[in-house]
Amino acid sequence: MKTTWLVGLLAMLNVTSAAMASDFEQLRKQFVDGYPALFPVAATALGDHRFDDRLDEVGSAANQRQRSFLLRMREQAAGIDAGHLSREQQVDLALLRQQLEHDLWSLEELAEWRWNPLVYTNTAGSALYGLLVREFAPLPERLRHAAARMEALPRFYRQVRETLVPAEVPKIHAETAIQQNPGMLSLISELVEPWLKSADAPLAARLTAAIATARKAVDAQQAWLEKTLLPQAAGDFRLGAERFDRKLRFTLFTPLNREQVRERAQAEYQRVRQQMFEVAKQVYTKQFPLTQFPEQPDEAYRQAIIRSALEMAYAKRPARDEIVSVARKLLLQTTEFVRDKDLVTVPDDPVEIVIMPEFQRGVAVAYCDSPGPLDQGQKTFYAVAPLPESWTDSQVDSFLREYNTLSIQDLTIHEAMPGHYLQLAHANRHPSTLRAMLASGPFIEGWAVYAERMMIDSGYLADEPLMRLINLKWYLRVVTNALMDQAIHVDGMNREEAMQLMVEGGFQEEREAAGKWVRAQLTSTQLSTYFVGYQEHADLRREAEQRWKGEFSQKRYHDRVLSFGSPPTQYVRALLLDEPIPVFPADRRE
């Protein structure tokens, strides 16, 4: 009797689990199908090409459609019992719930659609760029879709002008939008017009008319940005404590809060500077072998020795127009090292180093543009910003000191091999499209920082101590980014204080620090992802080494970590070490 009762109970539980798993799969399909329809340009980047001939809608009606969709998805997600799902499904459900809460908060409370014009310059530029730089469909088809999007630009820009509230737009955002907006004209000249002669007559005629329409619309938008938006821009770029803390929780998706991030970063700041001093002494002694260092050097002495050693690294730098060519050479070098050391499985996806498009400039020096998970096999672009023509010789010198040849080594490791390019190529092979859509910034950026340190620890340029010093300097930049992110947006840190932290504390050159000050104003919480993400990756690596002991190898560990896509590291930890999947933390005000 008892056995029959138990068998019946188990059968009932299996039926319940199967039904719940089916319900979740339906929910996942609805989100994957419905979410891209709200953002056609982002859908193209994802590799969902159902909406390639559409340009995003902007304004209250579009916001209401987004809100209705998100609320419907949230209600359905709340009805799913994670206990009846597989472990992989539990991860995806947690990510979906988190994303829905984040998107609703962003739409209703952060409301960047009211005050951030860069949202729209990025959408407009990506509308053409995403169609034409990758060969996911025949060229005539992509050109027809580009024509459709150019034809829609007047409507798009009109909606943007009706939606933005100039008094709420920070001046720095208006200035950057003015800088980026003409990039649309460059995209048209470089990506569309060269194909006019080879297109058939009807398509060429349509493209010619669409180009004229687009150019006129871009010029009108530029005039509005310069003559209306900028003079009235009076918003505060600082988020303030409440909005920053909530956004930080969504961005990091980690148990760490702002105070804990600051405490860990402050401790790392002191530790890394001490490490830099120890390495700098080795470098300095090679140059001046009779040097005797004091047993208890003061801060000024340590600063001087580190700077002297860094000067030796700065002497190894490319010419102004050689940064991209040097990066190409170093990508081959880092790839060969990863393969020779068998550190991780290297995908055969194509990667190309390119000049950063104009509409993307003004925020970062470089970035990795990987294909969407539905466009597997397409090119990854490692984009590098050219030096502005307006820079003086002293500004160029400052930049090239910062981005010396050894720094470009570190940058290439971070952006390409074995950093973003390699990690995202692995992630795109994970079967869950939902997980790819909801990728974790801290996991992705943390891996790239981890890759920098891992390469050095594995012997990359082992006979060049200056490489380790530069690597430590780059990690110190990660630490100061996290400190500065919250100090600016919550504590009111001003430009002078930020420059002091970066230049004196982090040994950054003036051009790098000045650019980071701009970036910190334009973004919030993203600068914290590098530090928190690295800390989580480093912690996980140490724990795996302790657990696996003699069975640990770098390749086994790296391939396993990268096999789960790009979810937050707490979920990778659970999957890797076969521990319970963390419960989705209820979003709450603290």
- pLDDT given for residue 40 in this prediction: 98
State percent of the chain over pLDDT 90.
Answer: 84
Q: pLDDT tens-digit profile of 156-165?
A: 999 999 999 9
Q: pLDDT tens-digit profile of 189-211?
A: 999 999 999 999 999 999 999 99
- pLDDT given for residue 139 in this prediction: 97
* Torsion from C-alpha of 264, 270, 272, 274, nearest 10 degrees: -150
Q: Which residues contact 284 (CB under 8 A, 6 or more apart)?
A: 291, 305, 308, 309
Distance CA 277, CA 472 (A): 10
In the predicted model, is pLDDT for residue 10 greater than 60?
no
Query: Out of 302-316, 333-347, 364-378, which region has the weakest mean confidence (pLDDT)?
Result: 364-378
Q: Residue 438's pLDDT band (boundaries 50, 70, 90)?
A: very high
Q: Residue 362's pLDDT band (boundaries 50, 70, 90)?
A: low
Residue 587 structure tokens: 């979003």
- pLDDT given for residue 364 in this prediction: 61
What is the arithmetic mean of pLDDT over 69-92?
96
In the predicted model, is pLDDT for residue 359 greater than 70?
no
- pLDDT given for residue 15 in this prediction: 57
Supply the pTM of this predicted model: 0.93
- pLDDT given for residue 398 in this prediction: 86
Q: Residue 3's pLDDT band (boundaries 50, 70, 90)?
A: low
Contact 368, 416 (CB under 8 A): yes
- Which is higher by pLDDT, 364 or 102? 102
Domain ranges of the chain: 2-242, 302-576
Distance CA 280, CA 309 (A): 5
Give the helix ranges, DSSP H, for 258-392: 258-287, 299-314, 323-341
| Chain mean pLDDT for the chain | 93
Distance CA 88, CA 80 (A): 14
In the predicted model, is pLDDT for residue 424 greater than 90?
yes
Q: Residue 474's pLDDT band (boundaries 50, 70, 90)?
A: very high
Sign of CA dihedral 114, 116, 118, 119: negative
Q: Using alpha carbons, select from 28, 22, 18 the residue that is nearest to residue 96.
A: 28
In the predicted model, is pLDDT for residue 127 greater than 50?
yes
Query: Out of 132-146, 186-200, 311-325, 455-469, which region has the weakest mean confidence (pLDDT)?
Result: 311-325
| Amino acid occupying residue 590 | E
- Going by their DSSP bridges, the two strands 351-355 and 380-384 should be labelled as parallel
Q: How far is CA 129 from CA 66, 123, 125, 291, 395, in A?
A: 24, 10, 6, 55, 30
Q: pLDDT tens-digit profile of 532-546?
A: 999 999 999 999 999
Q: Residue 313's pLDDT band (boundaries 50, 70, 90)?
A: very high
In the predicted model, is pLDDT for residue 360 greater than 70?
no
